[in-house]
Chains A and B, each alone.
Chain A
């Protein structure tokens, strides 16, 4: 059974336990740092590949600013000219940040979307990356349609009982489309 307590052995014991645990954590952190970086880089690359048309050359990360918010984006070049963009777009969902990768074609059509990370309620808002119907409607979302849920007068079918998540998703997509629009204007002006 436990040893009798006095000031010295309490302090020593706590110090020793904390030192050992901290050393262990530091070691494992150092060991897993590379695999964690690789895994997130791989996830990022996969999501970029998913939201852009096939057969292009994907550029390095670039940044654009729209309404004071900085966005990271990637260009997809086919024979030297850009035909699509993948924009990383974040909004606040129901449970925290909702981070999307949105592929947008030159004319403003949404090519595809992919969820990078979210903290939505499991079984409800978390369906935003599982629900086939919700995900499918973004493929080839025409620029003539309004990017907002039907409740708000738009053309997006929300996930059942997850209006807030759907709204956040629509906002993230619409921001990404606006980023691409502003990029195009800039290039035209030059």
Chain B
């Protein structure tokens, strides 16, 4: 497997949202607008890259029976670091996303990549995998966010181009499921060959 394909796999072949269907909780909850989706994706990517790097380093010395608790402690540490740093330096972003940041700990993508990839590969490959899957996740969340924002609020990234309220259902949970379902169909029909 070449380094480039590790990086690009996360976009289409291993797309965490549309192919692996992992991390649905933050996906459905945070994508009410394009901006929220983008920010949540970037926050997850930050944790994913760092935890992949650390786990690929410590995996050889961690006893098999305790590897899950060890990985979870590592991931939870990075999530808490992210939370503190966001609170200190980007309080505005923290105001909107603060509620969802702790959810990254239990995001199956992060533990999933640690289990499926980082503990079997070197540091560089794991970092690339973190970037690839992280970008794939960010991209998916942003696309869902854009669609939901257009239908639900008549705007994109907060820029309003359709006056009025939009179709309210798309801002709420049922709309999240519908948009995710249709995008998954389109994605698997046209991109995943």
Q: Which residues of A contact B (CB under 8 A)?
A: 1-6, 9-10, 13-14, 17-18, 21, 24-25, 28-29, 32, 35-36, 39-40, 43, 95, 117, 119, 121-124, 126, 160-161
Contact = CB atoms under 8 A, between A and B. Distances in A.
Given A21-B77, A25-B77, A122-B36, A35 B89 contact: yes
B99 A39 contact: no
B30 interface: yes
B178 interface: no
A3 B60 contact: yes
A161 B168 contact: yes
Interface in B51-95: 58-67, 69-70, 73-74, 76-77, 80-81, 84-85, 87-89, 91, 95
- Best-surrounded residue of A29, A95, A122, A124 (most CB of chain B within 10 A): A122
Contact of A21 (B33, B74, B153): B74
Contacts of B76: 21
Interface string B14-36: 00000000000000001011001
B63 A13 contact: yes
A76 to B, nearest CB: 25
If over half of B's interface residues share one DSSP class (helix, strand or loop), that class is named, otherwise mixed; here it is helix
13 contacts: A2-B59, A3-B61, A3-B62, A4-B63, A5-B65, A10-B66, A13-B63, A28-B84, A35-B88, A36-B87, A36-B88, A122-B96, A160-B168
Nearest to A159: B165
B120 interface: yes
Nearest to B97: A122
B152 interface: yes
If over half of A's interface residues share one DSSP class (helix, strand or loop), that class is named, otherwise mixed; here it is helix
B62 A39 contact: no
A39 B91 contact: yes
A29 B84 contact: yes
B63 A3 contact: yes
A160 B70 CA distance: 46
Contact of A123 (B69, B74, B120, B153): B153
Interface residues of B, number: 40
A25 B63 contact: no
Nearest to B76: A21
B42 interface: no
Given A28-B85, A39-B88, A122 B64 contact: no
A123 B171 CA distance: 6
A93 to B, nearest CB: 13
Nearest to A18: B73
A5 B59 CA distance: 13
Given A39-B91, A123-B33, A25 B81 contact: yes
A42 B91 CA distance: 10
A21 B171 CA distance: 38
A184 B93 CA distance: 38
A24 B81 contact: yes
Contacts of A122: 30, 32-33, 36, 96
A13 B84 contact: no
B142 interface: no
Contacts of A39: 87-89, 91
Contact of B77 (A3, A24, A35, A160): A24
Interface string B148-164: 10001100000000000
Contact of A32 (B84, B96, B171, B172): B84
A43 B77 contact: no
